[in-house]
């Protein structure tokens, strides 16, 4: 089967981190690079998947910063590790945006609020949300994409989601096949 979205090199891939790129820690947070474990197959297909898009933008809620469990520099170190691993496999993320606030904070940049998408568009003027896909594993990811009128892909996990994405898949490997 194939997605009939006519994705080409003018599209943008917005992607969540925990539960999509790496294994999600359902009992806590990823607080160091030793705990950052790539999901099966991600490194192998990232080059193929990411190369289908003009931009790849990582958008991640990291309330562990707001809770004081890790610093912004600590999260950046984890992201440096992630990026270097992806680069070694021929894949590149163009922009990483982090929402550090705790859930429920005033003036939050957290998904599902559209702030990180608008910030990405301000930095990369050619981003067109109607030609963008948001891939995530939670309601806030899907609602973020819907709030910006993107196509949405839910990577299914043990997280119970009530939002209705455009499509549900088991992994980024499956998405890569569907976009062939």
The first and second tokens of residue 148, run together, are 């910006």
74: which residues sit within 8 A by CB, 6+ positions away? 31, 32
How far apart (Å, rounded) are the C-alpha atoms in residues 48 and 83?
Answer: 16
How far apart (Å, rounded) are the C-alpha atoms in residues 168 and 165?
Answer: 7
Q: List the catalytic residue out of 16, 137, 139, 141.
A: 16
How far apart (Å, rounded) are the C-alpha atoms in residues 38 and 44?
Answer: 10
Phi/psi for 75 (5° steps) reads -65, -40
36: which residues sit within 8 A by CB, 6+ positions away? 22, 30, 78, 81, 82
Q: Is 137 a residue of the active site?
A: no
Q: Is 18 a residue of the active site?
A: yes
Beta pairing class for 167-169 and 151-155:
parallel
- Cite the active site residues: 16, 18
């Amino acid at each position: 089967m194939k997605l009939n979205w006519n994705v080409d090199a003018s599209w943008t891939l917005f992607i969540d981190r925990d539960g999509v790129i790496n294994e999600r820690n359902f009992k806590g947070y990823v607080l160091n690079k030793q705990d950052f474990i790539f999901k099966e197959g991600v490194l192998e297909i990232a080059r193929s998947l990411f190369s289908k898009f003009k931009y790849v933008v990582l958008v991640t809620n990291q309330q562990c910063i707001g809770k004081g469990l890790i610093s912004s520099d600590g999260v950046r170190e984890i992201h440096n590790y992630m990026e270097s691993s992806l680069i070694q496999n021929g894949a590149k993320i163009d922009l990483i945006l982090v929402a550090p606030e705790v859930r429920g904070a005033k003036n939050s940049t957290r998904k599902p609020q559209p702030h990180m998408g608008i910030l990405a568009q301000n930095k990369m003027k050619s981003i067109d949300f109607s030609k963008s896909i948001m891939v995530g594993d939670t309601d806030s990811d899907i609602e973020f994409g819907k709030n910006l009128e993107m196509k949405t892909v839910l990577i299914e996990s043990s997280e119970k989601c009530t939002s209705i994405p455009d499509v549900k898949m088991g992994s980024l490997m499956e998405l890569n096949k569907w976009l062939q």
